[in-house]
Chain A
Amino acid sequence: MTEAELQFREFFAAEYGRLRGLGYLLTSDWAEAEELAQDALVRTYHVWGRVRRHDRPGAYARKVLVNRHRSLLRRARVEARHLTGRRVEEAYEAELGTDGLVLWSAVRRLPARQRAVLVLRYHADLPEVEVAQLLGLPLGTVKSLAHRGLVRLRGELGSSAMEEIGGNRR
């Protein structure tokens, strides 16, 4: 095994979990998340000779993952899944606790771009400028999406219960 391959193995061990987690936050599907992470790592592997000299090779893989996700969205193959409220096979949410489960359900109902902005902003802790570059959006749009996403989360979590108490079934 060459030195580059050894380095890639270490890189894989360090980054795989993070990438898969990010993929899950974007898609709500562990299988899809794994595929995105694997795909990002395969593509990173193909240019490893160049990428391994970067300061943050993980950022490169993350960019590949986000781009891949965007491209799938464009093909409308993942967007339907973004609307997925809850899926049968996701047995991992029980560990989220009381509020987390409901908040996560609400996040999954957000439109794809709002959700991607919130995930990159509050999970990957990227500044808005970097989120804008990563998603290929103007900075103002990213700010607006983040704001609208948070407003919508607060609003959506509250409104339906009020209607029910008032006796208005949807």
Chain B
Amino acid sequence: MIEDRLRETFGRVAAGGPDEVGAFDRFERHRRVHRTRRVAGVTALVLVAAVASAVILPASPERRLQVTGAAGSERWQPGPLVATAPLQGFEAEVPAGWEANATWKGIELRPASADLRPHLNGPVQLVTSVLEEFYSPAPNVWKDGIYEDRTRLPRTVTRRPEGRQSHGSFPGDNRWFRTDLQEGRWRTTQWHISWPYRCQPGVPCPAQLALRTLKVVFQVDGDAATAQVDRLAERLLRTARPIANAVKGQPHAPRPDCVDGRSMVLRRASGDTLDYAGPITVARFYWWARTTANLVPCTVRGPFGVELLDGSGRRLDVQGNGLTVTSVADLPEARSVYTGAGVTELQLKWFNWCDEGPTRMRWIGAPGTGPAVPVTAPRCIDRSKPSRLVVEHILR
């Protein structure tokens, strides 16, 4: 009975999942956030009322609601060096006293002075990132209507920041969002401004890419060093210029192949076999590639495939056995109704195996050919027809 199988499957699924360790601590944080949102809601109402009264009351035409952040208004004379990150869609001027290097996810800066180095835990990084909508520094990021839908990026991609939160605006109403987290000696600061991603003409563009940010992140100790690096960070964000994929209508930089663990996370899994009453059986094999939290553009390139073997390692007589797919999709634009935004999926299916004996499978392609492992063969349906391995779909 499918009802019994459903009960059993639901039970197992619901009992799985990540550890519940720290759930109550997270509850306490969640409760505080909830309270903050309620307070923010009330505050917003009060502000709306204040604005409305300012507009309605002709007796006080000069009254204005002015929103300012903690950032200062110091003027900065740019240094001679411009660091460019075309894949990430920005360029920034590097002030004197700092050295800049390009990395796969953006630009990193180190102080030229030996005095400051001991107070920095690693370089100051200027990179692209993505925040959950709730924290996005730019309100109504989707309002320009160039994005197709609001298909979500996986939770593992979007970021929910930790630490003390603050927000404000640079001159020109360029809004920022910032977190500061003190852990032992080091204070970690992440400072974001909105940095939308503009897909190329004709390319479907998941709306979540509008949540991209340009982020400065650094770890620092000591008040003097903190002040110095804070000034650098502010200058970088205030003077960064959008280029390439951050500008509507501009061509994108050439896209490199995705690298597992950097610009993508690559996974594979076999779905085993369905064995319900009735003659239908299929073995499924999946490849997935998803973008990472830096949303670095790249092309997912195979080969990706599956090889079916007998118990002694010989290739089974299956149509399509060992087939591979090479070019799958571009990240971070890839998305589908099955996988969501920022993920591409390749599925292979194996049908109608009518021989006896043990069967094994081996993954072909990046990240390397895997070992042969046992696999449950699909049930024999029709001896007169060949066994087949097919690419079910490539989802973009």
Would you give the shortest CB distance from B366 to chain A, in whole angstroms?
A: 15
Tally B residues with Cβ within 8 Å of A.
Answer: 66
C-alpha gap A68/B15 in the complex (Å):
21
Chain A residues near B274 (CB, 8 Å)? 99, 102-103, 157
Q: How large is the interface on A (under 10, 10 to 19, 20 to 34, 35 or more residues)?
A: 35 or more
Does A93 lie at the interface of the complex (its beta carbon under 8 Å from any beta carbon of B)? yes
User: Is the CB–CB distance between B339 and A87 below 8 Å?
Assistant: yes
Secondary structure at the B interface, as helix, strand, loop or mixed, is mixed
Does A45 lie at the interface of the complex (its beta carbon under 8 Å from any beta carbon of B)? yes
C-alpha gap A101/B276 in the complex (Å):
13
Chain B residues near A169 (CB, 8 Å)? 390
Closest to B160 in A: A31
User: Is the CB–CB distance between A81 and B340 below 8 Å?
Assistant: yes
Does A128 lie at the interface of the complex (its beta carbon under 8 Å from any beta carbon of B)? no
Does B235 lie at the interface of the complex (its beta carbon under 8 Å from any beta carbon of A)? no
User: Is the CB–CB distance between B17 and A98 below 8 Å?
Assistant: no
Chain A residues near B275 (CB, 8 Å)? 98-99
Does A127 lie at the interface of the complex (its beta carbon under 8 Å from any beta carbon of B)? no
C-alpha gap A82/B331 in the complex (Å):
22
C-alpha gap A77/B349 in the complex (Å):
31
In chain B, positions 149-175 with a C-beta closer than 8 Å to chain A are 149-152, 154-156
Stretch at the interface among B76-84, B100-108, B283-291: B283-291
Chain B residues near A20 (CB, 8 Å)? 17, 20
Chain A residues near B20 (CB, 8 Å)? 16-17, 20
Specify which of B10, B17, B352 is in contact with A30 (CB 8 Å cutoff): B17
Does A3 lie at the interface of the complex (its beta carbon under 8 Å from any beta carbon of B)? no
Known contacts A92-B16, A123-B11; decide if A103 and B272 are in contact (CB<8 Å).
Answer: no
Would you give the shortest CB distance from A74 to chain B, in whole angstroms?
A: 14
Known contacts A21-B14, A25-B13, A165-B382; decide if A38 and B26 are in contact (CB<8 Å).
Answer: yes
User: Is the CB–CB distance between B26 and A154 below 8 Å?
Assistant: no
Does A59 lie at the interface of the complex (its beta carbon under 8 Å from any beta carbon of B)? no
C-alpha gap A165/B276 in the complex (Å):
17
A-B contact pairs, 18 of them (CB 8 A): A13-B24, A24-B13, A31-B156, A39-B30, A84-B340, A86-B339, A88-B156, A98-B272, A107-B9, A118-B6, A123-B7, A154-B2, A154-B276, A161-B281, A164-B351, A165-B381, A167-B385, A170-B392
| Residues of A participating in the B interface, judged by any CB pair closer than 8 Å | 9, 12-13, 16-18, 20-22, 24-25, 29-35, 38-39, 41-42, 45, 76-77, 80-81, 83-89, 92-105, 107, 118-119, 122-123, 150, 153-154, 157-158, 160-162, 164-165, 167, 169-170
